Amino acid sequence: MIFKLSKFKKPKIYRDNITQNIIWYIVNNLFFYSFFPFSNIKINILKLFGAKIGENVIFKEYVRIKFPKKLIIGNNVWIGSGVWIDNIEEVIIEDNCCISQDVYFCTGNHNANLETFDLIAKKIIVKKNSWIAAKCIIGPGVEIKENSFLKIGSIITQSKK
């Protein structure tokens, strides 16, 4: 199928709460996608913007988060440097998980079978006691099973049965 970008209709995900989204964009760049090292302050900021964050969570430097209100993180979670949570849908990270450096959570994709190139958005869930090693990519709709280990550089586009 050949898609025609001229027929693509931009979704309204950015137009809802536009003022809050603009403020978040600035805050995200100042405190998250920077060398700002204080996890407790980052957690409080995320909560102000609607994220649900558990106890004993660590955020390293240069983390990107698209929409805090679509982020749920359990207890005892480590988010490594350079993690990108591109969450136009929910990203849920349960208790006792390690998300290593430069992991990319991608909740959106496009339907290349339609000439209108429609957006497809699905949540991502990382079940408890999981470790996602550095440079992994997790695609839309993926559920990482409990007690999983994803080796460095893994690309996961479907949940394992």
The domain that holds 105 is classified in CATH as 2.160.10.10
Whether the per-residue pLDDT at 14 is higher than 70: the answer is: no
pLDDT exceeds 70 at position 131:
yes
Query: What pLDDT score was predicted for residue 3?
Result: 64
Q: What pLDDT shows up at residue 16?
A: 74
- pLDDT for position 84: 98
pLDDT category at 155 given cuts 50, 70, 90 is very high
pLDDT of 18 reads 87
Does 122 map to a domain? yes
- Tokens of residue 37, six digits: 């090292």
Q: Which residues contact 87 (CB under 8 A, 6 or more apart)?
A: 65, 66, 67, 70, 71, 105, 107, 124
Instruction: Print burial letters for 102-123: b (CB count within 10 Å at least 16), e (below 16).
Output: bbbbbbbeeeeeeeebbeebeb
Q: Is residue 161 a part of any domain in this protein? A: no
pTM: 0.92
User: Range of 75's domain?
Assistant: 5-156
Whether residue 11 has pLDDT greater than 80: no
Average pLDDT of the residues in 96-114:
92
- pLDDT band at residue 17 under the 50/70/90 scheme: confident
Q: 20, exposed or middle or buried, with CB in 10 Å at 0-12, 13-18, 19+?
A: middle
Provide the domain count of the chain: 1
Which range among 87-96, 116-125, 133-142 shows the weakest confidence by mean pLDDT? 116-125
Question: Which has the minimum average pLDDT: 36-45, 57-66, 86-95, 116-125?
Answer: 116-125
**What's the mean pLDDT in 102-120?**
86
Structure confidence at residue 1 (pLDDT): 58
Residue 133 predicted with pLDDT over 90: yes
pLDDT band for position 9 (50/70/90)?
confident
Sign of torsion over alpha carbons 106, 112, 116, 120: negative
